[in-house]
Copies of this chain bind each other. A is one copy, B any other.
Amino acid sequence: MTLAAVGTARHGEVGIAVQPPLHPGHDLDRSHARGADKAPTILDVAAEAGVSKSTVSNVVRGADDVSSATRARVLAAIDLLGYTPNAIARQFVRQRTTILGVLVGDLSNPYYAQMAQVAERAAFRHGYTTMFCNIEGAKDIALAGVEALLEHRVAGIVFLAYISRTDQLEEALRRAGVPIAFLGLSERWGDSVGPEDAQGGRLATEHLIGLGHRRIAYVRTPLVERTGDRGRHSGYRAAMRDAGLDALPPIAWAPGAPTVRYGRTSLKLSDALRGGKAPSALFVSNDIGAIAMIEACENERLTVPDDVSIVGFDDIAIAALHRISLTTVAQRLDYQAERAVSLLLERIHDPGLPPRHTSVSVELRVRQSTAPARG
């Protein structure tokens, strides 16, 4: 507390000049009287500055009807006492918070981590803090997490998870009536931002077709929401149809944790990628899955891209590593996260808004995991 006063004195004489050493020695008494155990309140500051609590409140909140002399006096008192405004009390009386809940599927997955980071930053820039719940695919945890967010009366929720929403979870969210933005997904009941899945599926598939591949399979991983998966798959089918090719039956990742390690063992490649009718190219519904697929192929002594070409979706950071160099459909993760936060804040401000769904254009990034078909 004394240090703070010194700090003030150092960086400007204004506050000090208006209000010299105020009550010399008195601060010691105060701190003894109150004890160091309790944080100073707006009333302590008011007493110290010789004004009412309302005036201190006005200063803290930046209201304009405070004379500059009074303001300086109050600021000096705040500095002296080391007062930190109590957001809990503020939230309590104003009956709303500036906290955004973030439901994130799995932070150890780079896709979500990148999204979460940008969302946090965007929220912070708008004066909101973020409360995270890592729901990791477990339905009961998700429900408990949502409950916690609702109890804390978050102003809105960013939904960033692949968990298949149960009726229970969805109903809990609807009932609470809290603004919610689905990030990385489209066509939900709240607001949403997502990539142009169908267009991406088409780009990926056309790229492979252009390289001369005829037998191209779609690989579906549990990472992708049904809606996203549907779009990507239908883009694939449309491109195949337009090229006069037959769509192959999709290869499915066994249900389970969406990690590279799991995918590597889960994908049954022996069946899918061996023999005369095996596909020479794969379009995988996301990058983590595509990387798992590369691992799985190389485990089975199939070289990528020589034996199999692979295209992913997302363009997460590690896809660009030389050693990985994954051809993929890039979606602007950062833009989407920003947009989701904007949608949320707009709805918080005006709950009457109609639901809005933003889809973000995608772009093919050709790297080394795809090569012309052989023969």
Total copies of this chain within the assembly: 2
Partner of A152 from B87, B121, B133, B291 at Cβ < 8 Å:
B87
Partner of A134 from B117, B260, B322 at Cβ < 8 Å:
B117
Task: Given the known inter-chain contacts A321-B291, A321-B324, please indicate yes or no for A129 contacting B108, CB distance below 8 A.
Answer: no
Partner of A110 from B86, B113, B129, B171 at Cβ < 8 Å:
B113
Partner of A294 from B82, B171, B320, B323 at Cβ < 8 Å:
B323
Task: Say if the beta carbon of A63 comes within 8 Å of chain B.
Answer: no
Give the A interface residue count (CB, 8 A). Answer: 63
Task: Say if the beta carbon of A124 comes within 8 Å of chain B.
Answer: yes
Task: Say if the beta carbon of A131 comes within 8 Å of chain B.
Answer: yes
Closest to A260 in B: B321
Task: Say if the beta carbon of A245 comes within 8 Å of chain B.
Answer: no
Across-interface contacts of A82 in B (CB, < 8 A): 175
Closest to A264 in B: B322
Task: Say if the beta carbon of A306 comes within 8 Å of chain B.
Answer: no
A218-262 CB contacts (< 8 Å) to partner B: 259-261
Q: Give Cα A36 to B176, complex, Å.
A: 11
Q: Is the CB of A114 within 8 A of B110?
A: no
Q: Is the CB of B323 within 8 A of A151?
A: no
Task: Say if the beta carbon of A18 comes within 8 Å of chain B.
Answer: no
A111-157 CB contacts (< 8 Å) to partner B: 113-114, 116-117, 120-121, 124, 129-134, 136, 141, 144-145, 147-153
Name the distance in Å between A298's Cβ and chain B's nearest Cβ.
5
Segment at the interface with B among A42-50, A88-96, A194-202, A352-360: A88-96
Across-interface contacts of A133 in B (CB, < 8 A): 120, 124, 129-130
9 contacts between A and B (CB under 8 A): A1-B175, A3-B175, A84-B151, A86-B153, A107-B116, A124-B133, A124-B148, A129-B133, A129-B149
